[in-house]
């Protein structure tokens, strides 16, 4: 008795130490970005989250909840408090307040930067408990170790990547853990916890819909398999009732749980489980024959009524139809045709196959094995994992960003496989087994077994080592770049940073009026808001397609038309990203076709994608480019003065490998260059004022150029004018 007690203590101590090391590994591998670069907020969306968090910290929760942001989406403004998931900001504000309470005056930026690494430790802990429920604690520890360093999860949770996903994956795993516990025991407490964490998840990430559909799917499959039980009933009804009511408290979600098709599955299963409960009650009361007929008839009736009802309500507009993002999950071409704005986002593209290996290394081939092993002893909770695996494998194949939700389950399944493998092959108890008679043959078998086991264990330890190596390499090389600062190399091979974005945003912050409006493609909206603190027309919260199309139209129109559009929206500056000089391929010219497509969707008569290609259908910028392309504002703003860096006649665009002629770019009469960053990546233009004497700016420019050349006309001709009215 005392011996087992001591053993338990040792186990606990070991477990704690392992967790400590795991958390250390998880956090430290995510700190590459801070070490390589600096403590900075990454990419695009995190800049908004950071700005919102600052607002929350400075103004308090009430103001944050009712925040009307007049510095974005000019002149519409954004009801920010009602259109964001406040979980992330609320959590980091709570952490910040907590730290201040205990006398640690940490800057809110550092809280935000280190937020994701800190939560990765919690994710590991939740994954451990989830896997414990699936198999045992050995598998749990392996799963926790995997999730701690798997690149698929690190990609969205390095230090500085202050995004909703940073906290959402943690909450996803915690919710699932509590759900499995609740489902196994029928404990109302556990399913209440599942509901509460579901609420937390709803407040943090739009991906909560995944839980909303996965748990009902699990329940539905269990019912179909005839595994209905009162435990399942109490777990699901408790989770659904509390979870749905709680999720409706988030302003952005509001009445969606009862109005949107995305949530109808959960509601339907809730109804179904009531009927099944009634059925099983009746079954206990009446004879089997009678029950069978009642069941068949009522099932058919209910199914028909349900489906018809759903269609009717959707048709009459009581239930919102599936959203575009949802359709694009089923048909990868849907978005490209119908909603270019969704397709234009790179993370909404289908995943390339190597990405799976890149993000999870050897876990990817252990993953199917794990699913197979779970099939072998098909317990209720295993069905959950299987459903999760199947669904997410599909989703991850459709959209790159959903790799993120697949990674945890890959880790769990792979851990199950490896732990099963080690259960068998790392079991060396046969060596001291006394039951066998010591003989030559048995000795030989023993040695052979030992060799086999050692080979298998050794090779898998090797794999594990390679896995750690791969994860570290991927994290440090691929996922640690803040994309605000770009790494590059000098000619002598030393490390150099390209800091054009911050240079330009800082210029804007210091040199423009505080209420200046900046028009740029929506990708840079959050960064302009966060770093330059200037009003933007559109940003990464792409809620208004028309408004984005307006900016797209301005960029794809000729100067004078663009000037008119931009002036109407009180724009002071236009910002374009140009990579042609240093070969940065993510620039606006490469995104330009999306601008054209999005605005073509709204103004098909004025903007036509075909006209931006050469007659032979090529996307060119050089002398062969179509006239519409050469006239477009984007072309002019990108290449203005570009040739002057070379010989003044034509310049070499390093991204597209084409020669840009100065005569194609022509003059800028409606805009003037305000700022161009060191490597020409960010170019800022100011809209000229209206001509004070009422000329078209183009003719004013022509006049200026003519008087500079001092051409004189001797002969005065009678002008042909319209009749003055």
Partner 1 sequence: MEFRLSYVLKLLFAWIQVIAIAQAKSSSGSKTLIVYDQRVTALEEYSVVFNSLKDRSFDIHYTAIGNDSTPIELFDGESRDYDKLIIFPTRSRHFNRQLPANKLLAFLNNGGDVLAMTSPDGVADNVRVFLNQLGIYPSPKNFVLKDYMHATDDDNSLLLSSSSILNEHVVTKGNYELKYKGSAALLDNSELIIPVLQAPRTSFTEDSQKANEKWTVGTQGYAAVSFQSLYNSRVSWVGSDSFFSDRSSSPNSQFVDELMKWTFSEKSVLKSVGGSHVHLSGLDYADVPYKINDQVVYKIGLSEWNGEFWVPFMADDVQLELRMIDPYYRITLVPNTSTDCVQYYSSGEINLPDHHGIFTFSVNYMRSGLSFVSERDVKAIRHLANDEYPRSWEITNSWVYLTAIYSVIGAWSIFVVLFLGIQGRKDVTVEKKNN
How far is the first Cα of the chain from the last one, in angstroms, to the nearest whole number? 109
Span of 3-11, 62-70, 159-167, 281-289 interacting with partner 1 by CB under 8 A: 62-70
Nearer to partner 1, 79 or 313 (CB): 79
Name the 3-class secondary structure at 465: helix
Using CB under 8 A as the binding rule, the residues of this chain from 481 to 540 that contact partner 1 are 515
**Which of 15, 227, 248, 251 contacts partner 1 by CB under 8 A?**
251
CB of 250 to partner 1, least distance (A): 12
**Residue among 105 and 692 whose Cβ is closer to partner 1:** 692
Nearer to partner 1, 206 or 254 (CB): 254
Pick the piece of the chain touching partner 1 (CB under 8 A) from 213-221, 367-375, 627-635, 710-718. 710-718
Q: How far is the CB of 259 from partner 1 (least distance, A)?
A: 16
Nearest 10 degrees: Cα torsion 654, 655, 656, 661 = -50
Do 340 and 597 form a contact (C-beta atoms < 8 A)?
yes
Number of residues that bind partner 1 (CB under 8 A): 35
Q: How many other C-beta atoms can be found within 10 angstroms of the C-beta atom of residue 443?
A: 11
Q: What 8-state DSSP symbol labels residue 529? A: I
Which sign, positive or negative, has the C-alpha torsion 405, 411, 412, 414? positive
DSSP alpha helices (H): ranges in 350-477? 353-360, 363-376, 380-398, 403-425, 440-477
Q: Are 92 and 53 in contact (CB under 8 A)?
A: yes
Q: Which two tokens stand for residue 655?
A: 């991204």
Q: For residue 710, state whether it binds partner 1 (rule: CB under 8 A).
A: yes
Q: Is 59 in the site for partner 1 (CB under 8 A)?
A: no
Site for partner 1 contains 70 (CB under 8 A): yes
Q: How far is the CB of 571 from partner 1 (least distance, A)?
A: 12
**65: contact with partner 1 by CB under 8 A:** yes
Q: How far is the CB of 644 from partner 1 (least distance, A)?
A: 24
Residue 703 touches partner 1, criterion: CB under 8 A: yes
Minimum distance from residue 276 beta carbon to partner 1 (Å):
22
The answer to whether residue 76 forms part of the interface with partner 1 (CB under 8 A) is yes
**Residues between 556 and 615 with contacts to partner 1, criterion CB under 8 A:** 568-570
Separation between Cα atoms, residue 653 and residue 149, nearest integer Å = 40
Given 77, 98, 458, 604, the residue binding partner 1 (CB under 8 A): 77
Dihedral angle over CA of 127, 128, 130, 133, nearest 10: 170
Q: What secondary structure letter does DSSP report for 94?
A: H
Give the shortest CB-572-to-partner 1 separation in angstroms: 12
Q: Which of 74, 205, 460, 505 binds partner 1 (CB under 8 A)?
A: 74
DSSP 577: E
For position 707 contacting partner 1 by CB under 8 A, the verdict is: yes
Residue 66 makes contact with partner 1 by CB under 8 A = yes
**Minimum CB–partner distance for residue 553 and partner 1 (Å):** 14
Q: Are 41 and 113 in contact (CB under 8 A)?
A: yes
67 or 584: CB nearest partner 1: 67
Alpha-carbon span 664 to 208, nearest angstrom: 50
CB of 257 to partner 1, least distance (A): 17
Q: What is the DSSP track for 256-309? A: HHHHBGGGHHHHHHHHHHHHHHHHHHHHHHS-HHHHHHHHHHHHHHHHHHHHHH
Structure tokens at 264: 């109808």
CB of 641 to partner 1, least distance (A): 23
Concatenated DSSP letters of 577-634:
E--TTTT-SSSHHHHHHHHHHHHHHH-TTT--GGGGS-TTS----STTS-HHHHHBHH
List the one residue out of 258, 243, 264, 244 whose CA is nearest residue 190: 243
**Among 93-101, 408-416, 536-544, 707-715, the segment contacting partner 1 (CB under 8 A):** 707-715
- Rounded to whole angstroms, the Cα distance separating 146 from 138 reads 13
**75 lies in the binding site for partner 1 (CB under 8 A):** yes
Q: Applying CB under 8 A, which part among 164-172, 178-186, 448-456, 688-696 lies near partner 1?
A: 688-696
Rule CB under 8 A: is residue 249 a binding residue for partner 1?
no
Helices (H) and strands (E) in the chain, counts: 32, 9
Footprint on this chain of partner 1 (rule: CB under 8 A): 62, 65-66, 68, 70, 74-77, 79, 82, 251, 515, 568-570, 690-695, 703-704, 707, 710, 712-713, 716, 718-719, 721-722, 724-725
């Amino acid at each position: 008795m005392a011996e087992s007690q001591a053993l338990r203590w040792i186990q606990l101590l070991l477990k704690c130490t392992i967790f400590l090391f795991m958390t250390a590994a998880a956090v430290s591998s995510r700190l590459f970005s801070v070490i390589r670069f600096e403590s900075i907020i990454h990419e695009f969306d995190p800049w908004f989250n950071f700005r919102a968090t600052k607002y929350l910290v400075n103004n308090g929760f009430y103001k944050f909840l009712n925040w009307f942001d007049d510095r974005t989406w000019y002149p519409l403004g954004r009801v920010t408090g009602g259109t964001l998931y406040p979980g992330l900001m609320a959590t980091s504000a709570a952490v910040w307040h907590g730290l201040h309470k205990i006398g640690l005056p940490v800057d809110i930026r550092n809280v935000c930067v280190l937020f994701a690494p800190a939560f990765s430790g919690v994710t590991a802990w939740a994954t451990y408990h989830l896997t414990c429920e699936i198999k045992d604690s050995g598998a749990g520890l392996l799963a926790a170790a995997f999730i701690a360093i798997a690149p698929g999860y690190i990609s969205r949770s390095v230090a500085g990547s202050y995004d909703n996903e940073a906290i959402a994956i943690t909450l996803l795993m915690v919710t699932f853990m509590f759900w499995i516990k609740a489902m196994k025991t029928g404990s109302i407490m556990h399913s209440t916890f599942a509901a509460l964490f579901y609420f937390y998840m709803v407040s943090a990430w739009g991906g909560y819909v995944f839980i909303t559909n996965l748990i009902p799917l699990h329940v539905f499959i269990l019912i179909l398999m005839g595994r209905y039980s009162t435990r399942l009933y109490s777990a699901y009804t408790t989770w659904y009732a509390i979870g749905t009511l709680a999720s409706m408290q988030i302003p952005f979600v509001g009445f969606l749980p009862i109005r949107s098709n995305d949530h109808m599955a959960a509601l339907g299963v809730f109804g179904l489980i009531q009927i099944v409960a009634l059925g099983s009650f009746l079954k206990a009361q009446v004879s089997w024959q009678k029950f069978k007929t009642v069941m068949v008839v009522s099932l058919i009736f209910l199914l028909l009524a349900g489906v018809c009802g759903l269609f009717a309500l959707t048709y009459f507009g009581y239930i919102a139809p599936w959203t575009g993002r949802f359709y694009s999950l089923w048909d990868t071409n849907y978005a490209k045709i119908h909603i270019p704005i969704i397709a234009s986002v790179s993370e909404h593209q289908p995943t390339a196959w190597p990405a799976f290996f890149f993000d999870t290394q050897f876990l990817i081939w252990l993953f199917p094995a794990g699913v197979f092993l779970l099939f072998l002893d098909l317990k209720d909770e295993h069905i959950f994992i299987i459903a999760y695996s199947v669904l997410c494998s599909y989703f991850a194949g459709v959209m790159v960003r959903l790799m993120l939700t697949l990674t945890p389950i890959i880790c769990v399944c792979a851990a199950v496989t490896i732990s099963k493998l080690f259960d068998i092959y790392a079991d060396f108890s046969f060596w001291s087994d006394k039951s066998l008679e010591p003989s030559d043959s048995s000795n030989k078998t023993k040695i052979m077994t030992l060799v086999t086991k050692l080979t298998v264990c050794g090779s898998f330890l090797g794999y594990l080592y390679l896995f750690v190596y791969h994860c570290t390499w991927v994290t440090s090389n691929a996922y640690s770049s803040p994309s605000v600062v770009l790494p590059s190399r000098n000619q002598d091979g030393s490390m150099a940073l390209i800091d054009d974005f911050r240079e330009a945003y800082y210029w804007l912050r210091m040199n423009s009026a505080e209420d200046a409006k900046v028009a740029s493609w929506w990708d840079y909206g959050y960064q302009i808001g966060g770093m330059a603190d200037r009003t933007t027309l559109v940003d990464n919260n792409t809620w208004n397609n028309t408004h984005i199309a307006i900016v797209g139209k301005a960029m794809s129109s000729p100067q004078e038309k663009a000037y008119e559009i931009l002036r109407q929206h009180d724009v002071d500056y236009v910002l374009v990203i140009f990579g042609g000089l240093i070969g940065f391929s993510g620039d606006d010219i490469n995104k330009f076709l999306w601008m054209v497509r999005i605005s073509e969707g709204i103004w098909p008569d004025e903007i036509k994608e075909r006209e931006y290609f050469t007659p032979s259908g090529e996307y060119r910028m050089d002398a062969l480019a179509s006239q519409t392309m050469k006239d477009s504002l984007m072309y002019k703003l990108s290449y203005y003065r570009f040739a002057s860096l070379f010989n003044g006649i034509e310049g070499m665009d390093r991204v597209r490998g084409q020669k840009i002629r100065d005569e194609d770019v022509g003059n800028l009469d409606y805009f003037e260059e305000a700022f161009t960053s060191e490597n020409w990546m960010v170019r800022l233009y100011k809209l000229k004022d209206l001509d004070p004497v009422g000329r078209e700016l183009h003719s004013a420019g022509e006049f200026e150029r003519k008087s500079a050349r001092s051409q004189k006309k001797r002969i005065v001709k009678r002008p042909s004018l319209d009749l003055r009215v």
